[in-house]
Structure 1
Amino acid sequence: MVKPIIGIAGNQLIHPTEFFHGNQVSYTPQGFVNGIQKTGGIPFILPIGASALAKTYINQIDKLLLAGGQDVSPDLYGEEPQPKLEETNRNRDIFELALITEAMKQKKPIFAVCRGMQLLNVALKGTLYQDLSEYKDWKVKHVQQPTTPEFATHSIVTEKGSILQNILGEKKRVNSYHHQAVRDLSPELIPTAYSTDGIIEGVEAKNPEQRLLAVQWHPELNFDKDERECALFDYFVNQL
């Protein structure tokens, strides 16, 4: 049996640290690598590069995974930066937007996590809350530090008939590490999970022929302890 090759859009450590002797580092969280391997896929990390490389990269993979990380540059959805905006990496934004465009053009599945979901929404003409303080109904703690990610911190409710409900059930508790969120949802996406304060926690493609799945939490941080989080990886690797 041929195992699917899963391209993980990589991140970049730009700030110098003593651990890496001041060198910049390309990386992805180990949880994505482990989750893909555990469910039968071959992880293939795609380092940040020129947009012109996107077609070549997408040609080499079967599916694309968009990981978490920095805030999305607000000018990409028509806004000036607000005071609570945190670190951005425009090179990463532009490269991943090119990967999304090419993956959709080639009709290859995309699984997006946290920032990945936010960037997917922006790529498809949606907008974001630059910080949850902009959301008037904010009542739930969405950045769970100092609680460790293996422990879920808040509830979500999934939409009937959605991919997420089929995998996770109607209700679930999830971990949470985000201060940005979807504001105006792309017309090409449908919301399929919400937190109890109304933040969109999961989306899918409106067009069933476009295989997209995105979540706002981090299954890569506790898939080895939560069977339903592992089932998300299994669905992405083997069914999406």
Structure 2
Amino acid sequence: MARRPLVGISTYLENGARWGVWELEAALLPAGYPRLVQRAGGLAAMLPPDAPEHAAATVARLDALVIAGGPDVEPVRYGAAADPRTGPPARARDTWELALIEAALAARVPLLGICRGMQLLNVALGGTLVQHVEGHARTVGVFGRHPVVPVPGTLYAAIAPEETSVPAYHHQAVDRLGAGLTASAHATDGTVEAVELPSSDWVLGVQWHPEMGEDLRVFEALVHAASTASVSAEV
């Protein structure tokens, strides 16, 4: 049997999580993330916030990395003052996940950023964010759907060449692209919905939440890239 690649997924760190009689701080991850990794043929590992100096050693044990969705990136990370509509900071996640992204890029480990993860990838490469956009999170706590249109000739277009309806929930978006990044899909209102790093082996960010749907193609492409990279490393 072929070796299943190990895919690390960053997690939330939240107070007041409840299970049974317990209410404690917990490292959390919506089950859709590991399920899609598993359905795509990978092994899923949760990566709760840790000290940034451990990021390189963590990434060295992985075949691919997913930066999960979550709270708004703290605006100070891209040199902006906070808009009143920007949520409270998640500094432990920002610090840890920026270190993970830097380590993955340095090690050329396949990297997928989802929603917040795509925004953080953009910030890690010197880009900025729009702190509020209308129409991409119409009902609080409810994922909506909207179409995204791929840019021909991109990595994302090779994965999903047609216009696709995707599950989405966000109120921030990419503004100025980070160094080397290319926009590879847009919403019909012009919002950047996917970014990629053509100079790398496999780096993709998507603004929507594939883990909330049934389309496996993005995760299958990640796991395939991870399998290819791990085989090459063993040769």
Letter in 2 for 1:145: T
Structure 1 residue 236: deviation in Å?
0.7
Which residue does the alignment assign to 1:45?
46
What SS is found at the alignment partner of 1:22? strand
Alignment of 1:83-232 (within 5 A): 83-132=84-133, 141-145=135-139, 149=143, 153-207=145-199, 209-223=200-214, 229-232=215-218
Q: How far 1:62 moved relative to its partner?
A: 0.8
Partners of 1:177 and 1:91 in 2: CA distance: 22
1:169 Cα offset (Å): 2.0
Contact 2:182 2:195 in 1 (8 A): yes
Q: Deviations over 1:19-78 (max 9, x none)?
A: 573310002111110001111100011110110111121111111001100000100000
Distance 2:7 2:120 in 1: 19
1:71 aligns with 2:65: no
Bigger share in strand? 2
Q: What SS does the aligned partner of 1:142 have? A: coil
2: distance between equivalents of 1:18 and 1:55? 32
Q: CA separation in 1, counterparts of 2:213 and 2:146?
A: 14
The question of 1:62 aligning with 2:63 is answered yes
2:233 is equivalent to residue 239 of structure 1 = no
Cα distance in 2 for residues equivalent to 1:146 and 1:79: 25
Letter of the aligned partner of 1:142 in structure 2? H
8 Å contact kept, 1:11–1:26 = yes
Could you tell me how far apart the structure 2 residues matched to 1:104 and 1:165 are? Answer: 22
Q: Secondary structure at the match of 1:96?
A: helix
Q: C-alpha separation between the residues in 1 aligned to 2:112 and 2:27?
A: 20
- In 2, Cα distance between the equivalents of 1:17 and 1:163? 38
Q: Is the 8 A contact 2:152 2:161 kept in 1?
A: no
Residue 226 of structure 1 corresponds to which residue in structure 2? none
Segments of structure 1 that go 5 or more residues without pairing to the other structure are: 133-137, 224-228
| Counterpart code for 2:177 | L
- For structure 2, the residue ranges without an aligned partner over 5 or more in a row are 227-235
Q: 1:147 deviation in Å?
A: 8.9
Deviations 1:72-92 (A, max 9, x none): 010000011111111320110
CA RMSD between the two structures: 1.7
Q: Which runs of 4+ in 1 moved over 6 A?
A: none
Letter in 2 for 1:237: V
Number of aligned pairs?
A: 224
Whether the 8 Å CA contact 1:160–1:170 is kept in 2: the answer is no
Give 1:144 shift: 4.2
Counterpart secondary structure, 2:169 = coil
Deviates more, 1:94-103 or 1:168-177: 168-177
SS of the residue aligned with 2:118? helix
- The answer to whether the 8 Å contact 1:191/1:203 transfers is yes
The alpha carbon displacement at 1:156 in A equals 1.3
SS in 2 for 1:87: coil
